Amino acid sequence: MIIKLTVAAGIFQHQAKAGEIVSEAALPRTSVSLYTGPGSPSPLIDIARLKNTQITREMIVTAALNRILWSNETFIAVETEVSVAKHLERADMFSFGWAVSARWLKTPWHNVFGGSFAFGNGFSYATVVPHLESKYIARTNRVLYHMLMEVAFGIPGTAKAWEAFFRIHHRSGAFGMFNEVVGGSDFLCLGGRYRF
């Protein structure tokens, strides 16, 4: 009887440790992303509603590094991200972003193939004012508010290391808070992420 209990306890302890490893591996702390997409001069509210959204020829290609600051592993994560966006309309045009985001991990499709929703706020600095802003709004600035909205989907068979996502990459004056700038620019992007 004692031997049986000892063996059972050992198996249970082994399973618990394995469960801990799976839990930790389920949400790696660091990730890199690459995404690209065209710009839109439409108001953000119209884009979010999928209503009267215009698409322009301006495009960005963006690389981002993300780090989870805190997570309860099953429901929500708080993370920070730095990004470098290449604006393709001009050789010397880049924008640099920093944001803190909340990521909801328990999506409706979570049990099928994983995924998440994310919303972040921060700052953006452009080496040159993007053409999308100078063309469509009366006043802009190189330093503006940066926001991201993202929906991500896990890629089956990759042990949650890879994700595909759609993201709205937003720069604006935040209703005049930044140098009295009203309006901004949005890019509608598709991308991929690797977590490690």
Convert the pLDDT of each residue in 48-81 to its tens digit: 888 889 999 999 999 999 999 999 978 999 999 9
- Over residues 88-117, mean pLDDT: 91
CA–chain centroid gap for 94, Å, is 19
Single-letter code of the amino acid located at 188: L
Give the dihedral of Cα atoms 187, 48, 82, 33; nearest 10 deg.
-70
Which bin fits 154, alpha (ψ -120 to 50), beta or left (φ > 0)?
A: beta
Higher pLDDT pick, 36 / 48: 36
- Segment 120-159, tens digit of pLDDT: 999 999 999 998 998 888 889 999 999 999 999 988 877 7
> HEC states along 43-83?
CHHHHHCCCCCCCCCCEEEEEEEEEEEEECCCCEEEEEEEE
Contact residues for 74 (Cβ-Cβ < 8 A; gap 6+): 105, 106
147/142 Cα distance (integer angstroms): 15
pLDDT attached to residue 6: 42
- Domains of the chain: residue spans and CATH: 27-195 (2.40.160.20)
pTM, full prediction:
0.83
- How many beta carbons lie within 10 A of that of residue 22, not counting itself? 10
- For 132, the token pair is 């999308």
